A and B are shown apart, each in its own frame.
Chain A
Amino acid sequence: MKFSDTFEVRFAEMVTHYPTKRSALVPTLLYAQDEVGCLSDEVIAELAQRLELTELEVRNVISYYSMLTTKPRGKYNVQVCTNISCLVRGGEEILHHCQKKLGIGHKGTTPDGIFSLEEVECIGGCSWAPAAQVNYDYHENLTAEKMDKVLEEYRRKEMQ
């Protein structure tokens, strides 16, 4: 299993930060997922071995955290918040708009593999609601038109 050099440098440093190796697990899983696309069997086996854990222990942790996934997602994961602050400012409408536009539902992926859609819990964009994240990028004070532009931009990026 090969990760990028950046990953390896970060990992090597991170394990020195704690008295137990497994402490590096949660952030390492997220960085591994960002590189590979999901936490595949191969990734799980590799990290379990590196952190001296059983694969079951790693899977046990993965299933707890909502950002971690063992199933591949689209290249751009559109995460629309519909929690209370977003709800009262039209967060649900943004979600429904994305569903229609992308033709997929919650946790679905477009056939071309470019987009995934997820209804998420509060992402900390409350004062700039409604808010969404595409991968790690924040998009705030959204309207349906603004969301269209955001999606178009990512699609254009993919075409280039």
Chain B
Amino acid sequence: MAYLVSHPDEVKIVSRRFGQGAANLDRYLELDGYKAVQKALAMEPDAIINEVKNSGLRGRGGAGFSAGMKWSFVPKQSAKPKYVLCNGDESEPGTCKDRLIFEHDPHSVIEGVTIAALAVGAQTGYIYIRGEYRYLSVIMQKALRDAYARGFLGKNIFGSGRNLDIYWHGGAGAYEVGEESALMESLEGKRGIPRIRPPFPAVVGLWGGPTVINNAETLASVPHIILGGAEWFARLGPPKNGGTRLFCLSGNLNMPGVYELPMGYNLKKMVYDVGGGIPNGRRLKAVVPGGSSTPCLTADEIDVNMDFDSVAKAGSMLGSGGVVVIDDAQCIVKFALRTMKFYQHESCGWCIPCREGTDWLKKTLLRFHAGGGLKKDIDNMQYLAENMLGRTFCPLGDAAAMPMIAFVKKFRKEFEDHLEGRPCPYEKEGAVEQLPVFAH
């Protein structure tokens, strides 16, 4: 349903079956489907883990942790059943890549979950898909039924003597559930309140059993690694950043879309070449490089290679691959307000710094944007955000604080332009939601 784009610089690996009808199992088999699982069945579990480790595959959900390393933390012996959980709760604003994987290549996710299960010795897997993606859960349910019918899942898969059940599971609207411990709570039928760690899910996860949790794109990459080899995959990107990524280009671009580019692809090129540049003769103001929780980069800062380490060095994060481009017609204060409104809405309220912090930031920005800002608000917002960092169970507090700090630090002048009751210089019809203007 979501239309596809392409660019000559793309290296199509995870997306190589997009638009080819691979949701159909026979078509998937024609396109080398389920070959990786059969190869993995002949491998020792440790060999699978090493292969994924050596490939340099890092978590595509946002944190960028080594997938093979994560798998290696699962204890060999466990009194409780082990599980593999695919995180398809994609909700980070700016991110729409897992949607395409589920739509065009659902079997690759099933295959990835299967290989992960073989590697860690799990006999049950779950694929969690956000509630809004109903049409994708229909596609996934069919894919699972088809895989069962062929004996690829269930008892004695591929005649190997191994058993594996994979089930679909659906959410019902919650960003925070994308955080791994909240995801498990949600799957267990509870509110998505994060758990304190340690213990980590790899040791104590779903129903107390060791659990591997990976993003859908991470798992969809695994079959390609098993077939193509760790070395090949690792060489696609810079050191320690193996493979490619589905970059979701959105915002003020001529050609937004989801493009699969090698890790380490230059952001400037991504904006001006792949994304077709800024429309309507506008100029670039800022880029949010990896979903709404990552600190923005100014127009002068975007000559950066898009791999985990280079973006971190530039003071931001590669995150979930959601590249949001902002042109010079946009108001950063308003952009910050919308971002904080989101985090305030999504905070579960468990940890006070996040619950109160996001609420105060939203309220202050709302008043600020409406022309009721005080000079001291600017520093206060930064101070407030800095005090949220690292003081919460889950990273939602950080996810709200990090972009806020960057907005204030990098666009202080825009905040100052709103002072003294001035209307937003970027707003055509004046601020929509007016709040009483505070006296100085």
Contacts and interface: CB of A to CB of B under 8 A. Distances in A.
A30 B131 contact: yes
Interface in A5-32: 17-20, 22-27, 29-30
B256 A68 contact: no
Interface in A52-71: 60-61, 64-68
Given A84-B324, A124-B132, A30 B342 contact: no
A151 to B, nearest CB: 19
B359 to A, nearest CB: 16
Nearest to A23: B189
A83 B188 contact: no
A22 to B, nearest CB: 4
A121 interface: yes
Interface in B167-190: 167, 169-175, 186-190
For the side of the interface on A, what is the size category? 35 or more
B114 interface: no
Contacts of B133: 124
A132 to B, nearest CB: 11
B348 interface: yes
B99 A124 contact: yes
Contacts of A104: none
B189 A87 contact: no
Interface string B158-173: 0000000101011111
A109 interface: no
A136 B189 contact: no
A85 interface: yes
Contacts of A82: 338
B371 to A, nearest CB: 18
Which of A87, A92, A121, A127 neighbours the largest number of chain B CB atoms within 10 Å of its CB?
A127
B258 interface: yes
Contact of B189 (A20, A67, A84): A20
B174 A122 contact: no
A123 B132 contact: yes
Given A20-B188, A64-B192, A121 B175 contact: yes
Contacts of A68: 172-173
Interface string B211-248: 00000000000000000000000000000000000001
A51 B189 CA distance: 10
Nearest to B343: A121
B256 A30 contact: no
B96 interface: yes
A61 B94 contact: no
A136 B167 contact: no
A121 B93 contact: yes
B134 A136 contact: yes
Contact of A24 (B3, B189, B191, B326): B189
Nearest to B255: A127
A88 B348 CA distance: 27
A121 B248 contact: no
Nearest to B98: A124
Given A83-B93, A127-B96, A17 B167 contact: yes
A61 B93 CA distance: 24
A97 B297 CA distance: 32
Given A17-B167, A19-B207, A84-B335, A60 B251 contact: no
A88 B335 contact: yes
A131 to B, nearest CB: 9
A88 B2 contact: no
A144 interface: no
B346 A126 contact: no
A22 B186 CA distance: 10
B264 interface: no
A124 B258 CA distance: 12
A3 interface: no
B335 A126 contact: no
Interface in A127-144: 127-129, 133, 136, 138, 140
Interface of A: 17-20, 22-27, 29-30, 51, 60-61, 64-68, 82-85, 87-89, 92, 96, 121-129, 133, 136, 138, 140
Given A125-B2, A136-B132, 17 more contacts: A17-B167, A25-B189, A26-B169, A26-B189, A27-B169, A27-B171, A65-B172, A65-B174, A83-B338, A84-B292, A84-B324, A88-B335, A96-B432, A121-B175, A124-B90, A125-B96, A127-B258
28 contacts: A17-B126, A18-B187, A19-B207, A22-B190, A23-B187, A26-B172, A51-B189, A61-B189, A64-B191, A64-B192, A65-B192, A68-B172, A83-B338, A84-B251, A84-B324, A85-B251, A85-B322, A85-B324, A122-B91, A122-B93, A124-B91, A126-B95, A126-B256, A126-B322, A127-B250, A127-B257, A128-B2, A138-B135
